[in-house]
Amino acid sequence: MSLRSLLVLILVLMMTQCSVPEEKPKAVLVIHGGAGWIKRGSVSDSLEQELTKTLQTSLRKGRAIISSGGSSLDAVQTAIMHLEDSPLFNAGKGSVFTYDEKNEMDSAIMDGATGNAGAATGIQTIKNPIEVARAVLDKSVHVFLSGTGAEEFAIEQGLTQVEPSYFFTQKNYDKVIEAKASMKEVKQDKLGTVGAVALDTDGNIAAGTSTGGMTNKRYGRIGDVPVIGAGTYAENGICGISATGHGEYFIRYVVAHDIAARMKYANQNIHQAANDVITSLKEKGGLGGVIGLDSAGNVVMPFNTPGMFRGYISLDGEPVVAMYKD
């Protein structure tokens, strides 16, 4: 080979290497804090900073579990508990009020390694509802507990109990009073949940979700969050999904499981499956979004509303947080 040919070959190789985009770090944790009418300019700078900080801290706390060799279940629970402890999100401390001016919370968690799951609904005095779901998964022969029975079980497991007043926030109380006065559904700042999906170093996927439900809900209404396969689903080798939005639609169309089924049986990747499902949901009248991870750490966060509080983190990178569609 001549010197000229050798130089040309080296130049081509260098150009080829330069044109290859750097691969993004794979995520080990993805979270959401609700989807809905979240538009740029509708959130004050100070509130936006507070929301961003809370989401980032949740991601870091969950990632710390993974980094230390902990399980995806523990990472999911830890990340969600941080969001439940904040009054900024419709879960735990920030839960909205029912027609009866009470806080009734739902939660679920699923282990992709075993297929085991735990769910609870109608929680009123347990500080962190996701802990109830986790206790059901770990220590009950059942999957789904409700109301006073769920609370009795939680207390037997030693979970922290608080007075109902712990969940009071003036903003949410004003909303239910407004809704009752007008007898119309309140326009939500967000459609109601927090959730997390994690992938640990053993390749196990877990998903969890927690919510305060809908403002002014009546008759013991239950949304999609604690319904395994609707708002929460995890399966090793496939994906983990947590949903947020108008729960009735997510239940009817079994959204979380539908995404997994499309991947499993139709060979769609997680991006195609999640986006197709959320697009189709809007065509049927359902608003909301999902977060998810596949077994390779690819992250999805599609939604069909103006915004969704969301974020993800890799094993070594900084948290990536977003709120708006663009």
Q: Which helix (H) or strand (E) holds 5?
A: helix 3-19
* SS3 label, residue 175: helix
Average pLDDT over residues 72-93: 97
Buried b (16+ CB within 10 A) or exposed e, 153-178: bbeebebeeeeeeebebeebeebbee
pLDDT digits (tens, 9 = 90+) for 114-127: 999 999 999 999 99
Residue 209 is a catalytic residue: no
Residue 128 lies in a domain: no
Residue 131 lies in a domain: no
pLDDT digits (tens, 9 = 90+) for 195-231: 999 999 999 999 999 999 999 999 999 999 999 999 9
How far is 279 from 281, CA to CA, in rounded Å? 5
Q: Which phi and psi (to 5°) does residue 7 adopt?
A: -65, -40
Buried b (16+ CB within 10 A) or exposed e, 191-228: bbbbbbbbbbeeebbbbbbbbbbbbbbeeebbbbbbbb
Whose CA is closest to 74, among 66, 83, 84, 82?
A: 66
- Of residues 18 and 261, more confidence is placed in 261
Whose CA is closest to 80, among 254, 291, 270?
A: 291
Helix, strand, coil content of the chain in percent (nearest 5) = 40, 25, 35
Residue 32 lies in a domain: yes
Residue 167 lies in a domain: no
Catalytic residue among 78, 193, 244, 305: 193
Which residue type does 186 have? V
Residue 278 lies in a domain: yes
Alpha-helical segments (H) within 224-254: 247-252
pTM of the model: 0.91
Structure-block tokens of residue 15: 């150009």
Residue 33 lies in a domain: yes
Segments forming the whole domain that contains residue 49: 24-100+108-116+186-324
Domain holding 196: CATH number? 3.60.20.30
The full length of the chain comes to 326
* SS3 label, residue 159: coil
Which residue type does 42 have? S
Average pLDDT of the chain to the nearest whole number: 91
Q: What is the pLDDT of residue 42?
A: 80
Residue 312 lies in a domain: yes
Structure-block tokens of residue 115: 């297929």
pLDDT bracket for residue 130 (50, 70, 90): very high
Per the structure, the count of domains in the chain is 1
Q: What is the pLDDT of residue 21?
A: 37
Residue 156 lies in a domain: no
